[in-house]
Structure 1
Amino acid sequence: MRYAVYGLMMTAAMWCGAAQAQQKTLYVAAYGGSFEQTMRKDVIPAFEQKHSVKVEYVAGNSTDNLAKLQAQKGNQQIDVVILDDGPMYQAVALGFCGDLAKAPVYDDLYDLAKIPSNKAVNFGAVGTGIVYNKKVFDENGWPAPASWKDIEDAKYKKKLVVPPINNSYGLHALVMMARLNGGGEKNIEPGFKEFRDKVNPNVLVYEPSPGKMTELFQSGQALVAVWGSGRAKALADTGFPAAFAYPKEGGIVLASAACPIAGSAKAAEAQAFVQHMLAPEVQTALATGAGFGPVNRTVKLAPEQQVGLPYGPEQMGKLLVVDWDTINANREAWNKRWTREIER
């Protein structure tokens, strides 16, 4: 009888231990909207099942989630954060990200996925280029935009929309205009001059909101815009004749990155979650559900799944990378100058 009771006690203890293990919670801060829907439906359930952990999703844009990390400094409640590449470089510089643990999946990535600090990794990419109304272009016999310089064409007067530079798409355009005129991230002056003198006359509005940008195209007020391949795909998926062009000088990669938070009590699970984001099946789900170009070289997409995405070694190889460390060191001053000189 004594042995039977002991056996029952051991079984109960084992059951309680298993239950406690299943109740471990991993806090992941990431984007809302369609990305959150894809994560909840196609990404998180498999991770929870494999690792016996509950994922608590904290939705917010990159600015909001970086602010959460800063507010919780010294008492982090987030275990994994997902941010745009620019804010992620800031998170790394501020010491919020831990070193990535070695794993075989990192050997399968394109070079643009790798962040030099090895404290974060880009798990998905879209390209910044030029979106245009193909129907109107065809009706007018206009060729598709082929260069960053094309946004200066007088036929787009008050028909061009560019996000402001506190948005990555607008920032990318400023950097490219600087590069094409003898400057770059370390000498942004030519970019400001090009916008002020040659781009501004064509700009209808500097619009940061994706919803408003969509409305401007649908109402016919906008015919061309500096925007992302993922945004163009989402607009085209509504039935609107949106097309996307990578300028001949190169599109710029706008990547989404993940990092395990330094000092997390769930460090092993956080590392596993970052690696999970890079697995071929997750990369495929993010491509088809959220419009992210896969950074894992082994991912195979069907032709219809590739539409609107940067995909494969040729396209990934043509995407340009900006110097985020220089940009982040100057961005506040650039934003003030932009407001004063360009959007006045």
Structure 2
Amino acid sequence: MRLAFTGAVALLLTSTAVSAQTVTVSTYGIAQDGFKKHLYAPFEAACGCKVVVEVGNSGERVAKLDARKANPEVDVIALTDFDALDASNKGLTETLDPKKLTNYSKLYEFARDPLGGNKGVGYTYYSTSIAYRSDKVKIESWADLAKPELKGRVALPNITTSQGPLTLFMVDKAVGGKTPDLAAGIDFVAKMKGDVTTFYERGSQLPQLLQQEEIYAAVLGRFGWAGIKKLGMPIAWATPKEGQSGGMNVLQLVKGSKNADLAYKFIDFWLSTEVQTKLAQDLVDSPVNAEVKLDDAVAENLTYGSDTAKSLALIPPAQLLEQRKAWVDGWNAKIAR
């Protein structure tokens, strides 16, 4: 028996033409149990179709998309906003038609067309700040990462991670940087690199480092905050005077998709109030659907609400793409050497 849904979910067609189809989704490997429970399985039940999932990091999946562009196997791809813009610039994705998305008007304004030209639609976003031992140090600025109390007790993301450019962007802002190559921020990190415990590659390393008291502070995305809170230690989330940074993930329709109609339905389903609420309640993703209402206990673990979104210092995707090589070159020359 098919599941009953409300809103946009109820609009899914269950004709034999659709039920014979498969939608292939390229996405990140994180929280796949939650996505299967609240997204993939309900969509399959509602449309009588099959969802096939390919997982991996952004670079790997964009490279696969490029290699298969003559005969694409993926219909929908989930990427960071700047990787999505890169994929679009390479001609790997299609322009979206918002009229085919019944939930489009329910999204926060910043999520509707984050890349410009309807190249993609936001499905989640997050803030990036500093988690710190409040009994050991006080963090009021991004420049406080170099405080004496944190000498040999701080973890920063490597430049190759999604959090790396965001960290440099905010540190540069804190120390008065004026140039797009973030030279001031790179110099700041270079001066303190001997006091950094690790330039981490995976955020999953951070809870253990904090628990073992190898670090007292770390830069991370809000999506990792729930795991930090579970440690039951005096750890706070910083609200630096320069603000918090963050990022957005977007959904795109792959160019040449063989199941474009079903792909649109899948994207619309993902953006629905019902699905966004369930994913948020299980701490899988922060919602971009403005109709989602969360209680304080859940909201505390996520990036939630229009006021929070407006307060974030986000790097424009085009700027990140344009400057990324200069940032990596500067990092390698002064920090990684």
TM-score, normalization by structure 2: 0.88
Deviation at 1:306, TM superposition (A): 0.8
Partner of 1:171: 165
Which of these residues, 45, 65, 78, is aligned with residue 61 of structure 2?
65
Cα separation, 2, equivalents of 1:304 and 1:298 = 18
Cα separation, 2, equivalents of 1:313 and 1:327 = 24
Cα separation, 1, equivalents of 2:237 and 2:208 = 17
Deviation at 1:184, TM superposition (A): 5.9
Cα separation, 2, equivalents of 1:39 and 1:329 = 33
Structure of larger gyration radius:
1
Confirm whether residue 307 of structure 1 aligns to residue 297 of structure 2: no
Confirm whether residue 32 of structure 1 aligns to residue 15 of structure 2: no
Deviation at 1:240, TM superposition (A): 5.1
* 2:131 match: secondary structure: strand
Partner of 1:122: 122
Partner of 1:50: 46
Cα separation, 2, equivalents of 1:62 and 1:265 = 22
Deviation at 1:38, TM superposition (A): 1.1
Partner of 1:268: 261
Deviation at 1:245, TM superposition (A): 2.0
Gap regions ≥5 residues in structure 2: 1-13
CA displacement 1:98-147 (0-9 Å, x = unmatched): 122223422222233132131211111111100123xxx33x4x43x222
Q: 1:244 to 1:291 in 2, by over 3 A?
A: farther
CA displacement 1:68-105 (0-9 Å, x = unmatched): 11221221100000112221121122122212222342
Which of these residues, 251, 256, 261, is aligned with residue 249 of structure 2?
256
Partner of 2:190: 196
Contact 2:173 2:242 (C-alpha < 8 Å) held by counterparts: no
Partner of 1:87: 83
Cα separation, 1, equivalents of 2:303 and 2:275 = 16
Partner of 2:7: none
Contact 2:243 2:311 (C-alpha < 8 Å) held by counterparts: yes
Aligned residue type for 2:54:
V
Cα separation, 2, equivalents of 1:214 and 1:67 = 31
Aligned residue type for 1:148:
W
Confirm whether residue 293 of structure 1 aligns to residue 293 of structure 2: no
Deviation at 1:325, TM superposition (A): 1.5
TM-score, normalization by structure 1: 0.86
Of residues 262-271 and 173-182 in structure 1, the stretch that sits farther from structure 2 once superposed is 173-182
Cα separation, 2, equivalents of 1:233 and 1:327 = 28
* 1:206 match: secondary structure: strand
Which of these residues, 112, 118, 127, is aligned with residue 110 of structure 2?
112
Q: 1:335 to 1:165 in 2, by over 3 A?
A: same
Aligned residue type for 1:27:
T
Contact 1:175 1:185 (C-alpha < 8 Å) held by counterparts: no
* 1:248 match: secondary structure: coil
Aligned residue type for 1:173:
T
Cα separation, 1, equivalents of 2:90 and 2:214 = 42
Partner of 2:201: 208
Partner of 2:215: 222
Contact 2:207 2:227 (C-alpha < 8 Å) held by counterparts: no
Cα separation, 2, equivalents of 1:21 and 1:95 = 27
Deviation at 1:207, TM superposition (A): 0.9
RMSD: 2.1
Deviation at 1:266, TM superposition (A): 0.7
Contact 2:34 2:284 (C-alpha < 8 Å) held by counterparts: no
Q: 1:21 to 1:311 in 2, by over 3 A?
A: closer
Name the one with the larger helix percent. Answer: 1
Deviation at 1:167, TM superposition (A): 0.9
CA displacement 1:245-266 (0-9 Å, x = unmatched): 2322221122221111122111
Aligned length: 320
Of residues 305-314 and 326-335 in structure 1, the stretch that sits farther from structure 2 once superposed is 326-335
